[in-house]
Structure formats: structure tokens, C-alpha cells
Amino acid sequence: MGKITGFKEFDRSVEPYRAPAERLLDYKEIYTEHDDQHLSTQGARCMDCGVPFCQSGEGCPVYNLIPEWNDLVYNGRWEEALNRLHKTNNFPEFTGRVCPAPCEGACVLGINEPAVTIKNIENAIIDKGFENGWVKATPPTFRTGKKVAVIGSGPAGLAAAAQLNQAGHEVTVYEREDRIGGLLMYGIPNMKLEKDVVNRRVKLLQDEGVKFVVNADVGGAGPSAIDAEKLLAEVDALCLATGATNARDLKIAHREGDGVHFAMQFLTANTRSLLNSNLEDNSYISAKDKNVIVIGGGDTGTDCIATSLRHGCKSLVNFEIMSRPPVDRASDNPWPLWPKIYREDYGHIEAQHRFGTDPRTYSISGKEFVRDHNGKLLGINTVEVDNKFQEIPGTIKFWEADLILLSMGFLGPENYVASPLGIELDSRSNYKAAYKSFTTSSPKVFAAGDCRRGQSLVVRAIDEGRLVADEITKFLAS
């Protein structure tokens, strides 16, 4: 619980990011070094609240033992804090960097004071664990002889693989891309999650016995294709963790043509080129000297903003169809629900540093893309909308743009993996499988993560990966 009176004595103080002027010059992580004394003081703010909502369903999806490791950090017992953290979370180095921290939104102290800096403390615990050599490969002591295939190497797939391997099964993870990590590798830019951090954890899983196969497009076509039905016949169970990669499109006039790209096309190409050649191969979608518009907010939209700024874009605007959220919780958004309030993420702050203003424009919707007679993108016409997303007459406006990035979320998984396996889909085109059982309509086939529940958080994917592994182990023992 930290110090008994800590929440009365100390104010919330988050670890700062590197200065915008500095971090905009590179693709290194935006975070600064951890300060043990600072974090101990912040851990002291964790109060004896009786019912810790931070680790409840409204807080942490993996039910992290947050008050326990807050107290251990306050008392300088970092290795013990790491042991408590790893009991519930396979990959705190991922969540400590990219999770939006619903735990902090549910913090009891947050009812009338700023919440405990839970995310900072979590990230520091795991970073210190690696720095001190406390995080080591722990191969299972026995093998069951059962074979499990995991399709997809994002957070759900990796968590499932980790847990299944620890249960003694022989686990092989299949990834269609050229590197392991899925969303962690190509969906989240290097500034938020350096890929050495991902590779470090993948190496640990390999040392523990998990096998990885890249350029393996299960159910797909082409030279990297793997027959899904044949693979299923060769294993005792198969876990689908393919993510929700079917991006929502903006189907307005003149959509087809150069200059309009999905956010993931933009981010994936940038990271691949960065890793392959430090962007020297020019095999990415460049925003340099371009007027850029990002359509859609959220983390992915922010990542597009930050990447465009690092390219050296000429101007930058971010469209949000929603109205600007309030600074404080609205009456219909009480604690411990996630606070739907106005926030400035790292990309927004960087844009303000570069151009002097927040890049976001609210309550606006795309009307039609504008192109010249040769099909070259000139910009987009928009219209303002009310709180019910109805168009407001007389508000048509033209915005100049050379590059427009669509970051409006995802509609579900690409179904070419599930189709040959006879997997039934739900009403939202996700793989139909109930939470906590994760069984699909096909024998021996399970589904977890975004491909089952729809687009969500990395920490929810880890939760489902852990849980589906338990269900598969029960199935293999029956």
C-alpha cells in the first residue's frame, strides 16, 4: 500500500518524455531514464484503499497485483516487485510502454486526486529486471508430447505461446511477416516501443523452447503460403491469434488513387525500412515536405502524426469526427470507468512544438477526396457534424493535402485463415468464440485476442492469450 500517509504528502509526478526538440530528430524511444527515488515516492502514494479497483475488471485486464508491487518499490524491493509483476503479466515491458493505463483510470485515489503513476512504476520494474539480469529464460522441466500451433505473433499469440510452452507443450508460432511481433513489431512505431525490446523477449521465448516461423502465411496464397487444413492435421490444437487487421475504409468519392493510405500501411512500411536500412532504401511512404492529414484519432492516429513529423512534413492536421472531450469527467462517465477526457499524447505535443498548435480538428467528416484531371491528390472536402454526426449545412471546407492517412480503426480479422478451417464468424465478422472458453466451431481450433473480440488493447490481448492457453491445456488433457 506504500506509505500510510503518502497520498496526502506527495503529488502525482510522471516521468517526463524526452524534450520534443530532441526526440523529433530520431526514432529512439521517447522515454527518459528511471529515477529510483522518484518512483519510490510515487509508489508511496498508493493508499490502503481496501478494494483496489486498479486490478479489477474496470482497471487492469490481466489483474496485475498493483498495490503489492507499488509497496515493494516504495520499500526498494525491486526484484520482489518484478516477481509479483510477472505472476500476472508475461510482457510488462510492452504494457509499461504502450498501454493507456486503464488501471490509473480506476485508481481509488483518482476519485478526488490524480491517480498513482502505475504505468511508470510498472515500466521501471521490468526495465530494472532486465538491467540486473533478473529476467532469465526458464524452460519447462517436462514435455507433454502435445503439439500446438499458434497463428499470429502479436501480444495474444506470444502470451499464448509462452503459457503453453510453460505447460510443457511443443509450441510453434507462425507469422506471415518477416519478423516476429505482429502489432508490437510493425503496428507500434519505434518511438513508443523499440524493436530491440520485442526481440529481447522473443529471444527469451526461443530459449525456453518456443519455435518461430516467419514468412509463413497460413491459409494464404503465394510462395509463403501454408495449407491451414494440413497444419491443423499435424497438431493437437491450433490457436488463432491473427489480430483485427481489416482496416476501416473511408468510402467517399475519389478514394482510389495515390496519396491516400491506411495508417498501418504507412507505419508498417516505415518501421520495416527503418529496421532494414535506417530508411535509406526509401521503401516507405514518405511525408517529407508534404501537407499531411490524418483522419481518425486514437493511438494509431497519434503514431501517424509522430512519424510524419519525423519525416519532415510541411503541415499536419488530424481530423476527429467526435467532439472535443471535456477536461474533466462528464456526469455520465463516473469513476472507475475509463475517463473520456481531453488528453495530449506525445505526437500532439510534438506537433505543437513544430507548428505551434494542436493538430486536431474536431466534429469534422470527410465529404470527398479532391484530385486533378490526372488523378493526383489535391486534398479533401469536409463538412462539420453535430453530436449525432449529422452534417451541418454550409460548413463545406477544402483542405489541401498531398498525403492522407486513414486511421479509423479495424473491422475484424482477415478471414482467409479461418475460411478453410470452417470457422464460424460472429455478427461483427470476428472469429466466433466465447470469452473464457475460446473454442471455435472447428474442433481443435481456438481463437483469442483482437481476432476474437475486435480491436482492443495490447493488455487485453495478453489477457486472452494467457486464458486461451489454459483452455487449450485443459482440452489436451481431456
Q: Is 350 among the domain residues?
A: yes
259, 321: one domain: yes
Positions in the chain short of pLDDT 50: none
278, 239: one domain: no
Q: Is 329 among the domain residues?
A: yes
Q: Is 417 among the domain residues?
A: yes
Of the three residues 355, 378, 408, the one that is the final residue of a domain is: 408
Angle at 469 between CA 466 and CA 472, to 5 degrees: 155
Q: What is the pLDDT of residue 192?
A: 98
Domains held by the chain: number: 3
Q: Is 372 among the domain residues?
A: yes
Q: What is the pLDDT of residue 1?
A: 64
234, 269: one domain: no
258, 333: one domain: yes
Q: What is the pLDDT of residue 332?
A: 95
44, 110: one domain: yes
54, 74: one domain: yes
φ and ψ of 223, to 5 deg: -65, -25
Q: Is 139 among the domain residues?
A: no
CATH assignment of the domain containing 26:
1.10.1060.10
Of the three residues 386, 408, 430, the one that is the final residue of a domain is: 408
Q: Is 400 among the domain residues?
A: yes
103, 212: one domain: no
266, 199: one domain: no
117, 231: one domain: no
417, 398: one domain: no
425, 384: one domain: no
Q: Is 384 among the domain residues?
A: yes
Of the three residues 387, 408, 429, the one that is the final residue of a domain is: 408
Q: What is the pLDDT of residue 441?
A: 96
395, 450: one domain: no
Q: Is 1 among the domain residues?
A: no
CATH assignment of the domain containing 415:
3.50.50.60
For residue 11, the enclosing domain spans 6-131
